[in-house]
Amino acid sequence: MKCDAKIVNRIKRSEGQLHGILKMLEEEKDCKDIVNQLSAVRSSVDRIIALIVVNNLKQLSDTNASENDIEEAVELLMKSR
């Protein structure tokens, strides 16, 4: 899959957030703060999934993909929800 630099940057940002959460756990931070950060990571990953599927759909449309290929991409997006 051809990957957009924006997607890579978002994944790196999510990775940084996860490292921050690990540090919070080690420092025994408040549960509420940890859960808030985990929710932020989950939202970030959801957005990354959507971007990847959209990019895939764009690539499929450029290659005259079959209707089945497009349906598959949409199912991936729905599955991620």
The helix or strand, by DSSP H or E, that contains position 40, with its residue range, turns out to be: helix 31-62
Residues 6+ apart with CB under 8 A from 47: 10
Q: Is the pLDDT of residue 81 over 90?
A: no
What tens digit of pLDDT does each residue of 51-65 get?
A: 888 888 877 777 777
Domains along the chain with CATH numbers: 5-80 (1.20.58.1000)
3-state SS of the chain: helix, strand, coil percent to 5? Answer: 85, 0, 15
Q: Is the pLDDT of residue 73 over 80?
A: no
Q: Is the pLDDT of residue 49 over 70?
A: yes
